[in-house]
Structure 1
Amino acid sequence: MLAILSALMSFASISTDLYLPALPAMGESLSADAGSVELTISGYLIGFSIGQLFWGPIGDRYGRRLPITLGLLLFIVGSVGCALSTSVPMMIGWRLVQAVGACANVVLSRAMVRDLYVGHQAARMLSVLMTVMAIAPSIGPSLGGLILHVASWHAIFWLLVGVGLLTLWALTVLPETLPPERRNAQSIMAAFLGYAQLLRQPRLLAYAGVGGSFYGGMFAYVAGTPVAYISHHHVSPQHYGLLFALGIVGIMVASQLNARLVRRFGIDPLIRFGAVLATLAGALAALNAWHDWGRLWGLVVPLFFFASATGFIVANAIVGALESYPERVGTVSALIGALQYGTGILGSACVGYFANGTPFPMGLTIAGFGLGSLLFCPGLGSNRDTKNDGS
Structure 2
Amino acid sequence: MKSRTTLLITCCTVFMAQLGMSIYLPAMPEIARDLSTDASQVSWGMAAYLIGMALPMLFWGSLGERIGRKPVLLAALGIYALGNIALPVGTTIESFLALRLAQGIGASGISVMARVLIRDSFSGNLLAKALSWLSISFVIALGIGQYLGSLLQAAFGWQAIFQVLGGASLLMAWVVSRIAFPALPDRAHQHSSWHSYTRILCHRAFLLPAFVGGLGYGVIIAFNTSAPLILQGPFNWSAIEYGLLGWPISAAYFLGAVAVNKFVLHTGQRRLMSWGVALVLAGSATMLVGSLFGTSLAVLFWLPYCFSVFGQSLIYPVSLSLANDGAPVSGAYAMALSGFIHQLMAAVIGGIASLLVSQQAWPLALLCTLLALGAMFCALYIAQPRPNERSGGDRPISRGVS
What TM-score results when the alignment is normalised by the length of structure 2? 0.91
Q: In the alignment, residue 316 of structure 1 is paired with which amino acid?
A: V
More helix by share: 1
Alignment partner, residue 52 of structure 1:
57
Alignment partner, residue 338 of structure 1:
340
Q: Please, which runs of 5 or more residues in structure 2 have no aligned partner?
A: none
1:176 alignment partner, SS class: coil
CA distance in 1, matches of 2:362, 2:120: 43
Q: In the alignment, residue 99 of structure 2 is paired with which amino acid?
A: W
Whether the 8 Å CA contact 1:128–1:259 is kept in 2: the answer is: yes
Alignment partner, residue 266 of structure 1:
268
CA pair 184-97 structure 1, distance change in 2 beyond 3 A: farther
1:248 alignment partner, SS class: helix
CA distance in 1, matches of 2:230, 2:187: 47
Query: CA offsets, 1:309-329, max 9 Å, x none?
Result: 122100010011111348533
Q: Please, which runs of 5 or more residues in structure 1 have no aligned partner?
A: none
Whether the 8 Å CA contact 1:63–1:183 is kept in 2: the answer is: no
Alignment partner, residue 154 of structure 1:
159
What does residue range 68-147 of structure 1 map to in structure 2 within 5 Å? 68-147=73-152
Whether the 8 Å CA contact 1:23–1:38 is kept in 2: the answer is: yes
Query: CA offsets, 1:148-192, max 9 Å, x none?
Result: 112221111111111111110110233313x233457747xx202
Shift of 1:232: 2.0
CA distance in 2, matches of 1:75, 1:183: 31
Alignment partner, residue 28 of structure 1:
33
What does residue range 1-391 of structure 1 map to in structure 2 within 5 Å? 1=5, 2-177=7-182, 179-182=183-186, 186=190, 190-293=192-295, 295-325=297-327, 328-380=330-382, 382=385, 384=389, 386-390=393-397
Shift of 1:388: 4.1
Whether the 8 Å CA contact 1:82–1:91 is kept in 2: the answer is: yes
CA distance in 1, matches of 2:163, 2:224: 21
Q: In the alignment, residue 180 of structure 1 is paired with which amino acid?
A: L
Query: CA offsets, 1:217-258, max 9 Å, x none?
Result: 110011122112222211111121111221111111111111
Whether the 8 Å CA contact 1:64–1:108 is kept in 2: the answer is: yes
CA distance in 1, matches of 2:189, 2:251: 42
CA distance in 1, matches of 2:217, 2:319: 12
Shift of 1:133: 4.5
CA distance in 1, matches of 2:394, 2:167: 41
What TM-score results when the alignment is normalised by the length of structure 1? 0.94
CA distance in 2, matches of 1:238, 1:373: 33
2:128 alignment partner, SS class: helix
User: Quick one: percent identity of the two aligned structures?
Assistant: 24
Query: CA offsets, 1:83-140, max 9 Å, x none?
Result: 2121112111111111111111111111111111111111111113322453222111
Whether the 8 Å CA contact 2:199–2:329 is kept in 1: the answer is: no
Q: In the alignment, residue 106 of structure 2 is paired with which amino acid?
A: G
Q: In the alignment, residue 246 of structure 1 is paired with which amino acid?
A: P
CA distance in 1, matches of 2:188, 2:13: 23
CA distance in 2, matches of 1:168, 1:184: 31
CA distance in 2, matches of 1:125, 1:180: 20
CA distance in 2, matches of 1:115, 1:76: 26
Q: CA RMSD in A?
A: 1.9
Whether the 8 Å CA contact 1:202–1:379 is kept in 2: the answer is: no
Whether the 8 Å CA contact 2:74–2:177 is kept in 1: the answer is: no
Whether the 8 Å CA contact 2:205–2:326 is kept in 1: the answer is: no
Whether the 8 Å CA contact 2:232–2:238 is kept in 1: the answer is: yes
CA distance in 2, matches of 1:61, 1:379: 35
1:66 alignment partner, SS class: helix
Q: In the alignment, residue 180 of structure 2 is paired with which amino acid?
A: P
Query: CA offsets, 1:46-102, max 9 Å, x none?
Result: 010112111011112222101001111111121123121211121111111111111
Query: CA offsets, 1:170-217, max 9 Å, x none?
Result: 10233313x233457747xx2024322222211111011101111111
Whether the 8 Å CA contact 2:46–2:350 is kept in 1: the answer is: yes
Q: In the alignment, residue 28 of structure 2 is paired with which amino acid?
A: L
Give aligned pairs, total: 388
1:150 alignment partner, SS class: helix
Whether the 8 Å CA contact 1:264–1:387 is kept in 2: the answer is: no
Q: In the alignment, residue 14 of structure 1 is paired with which amino acid?
A: L
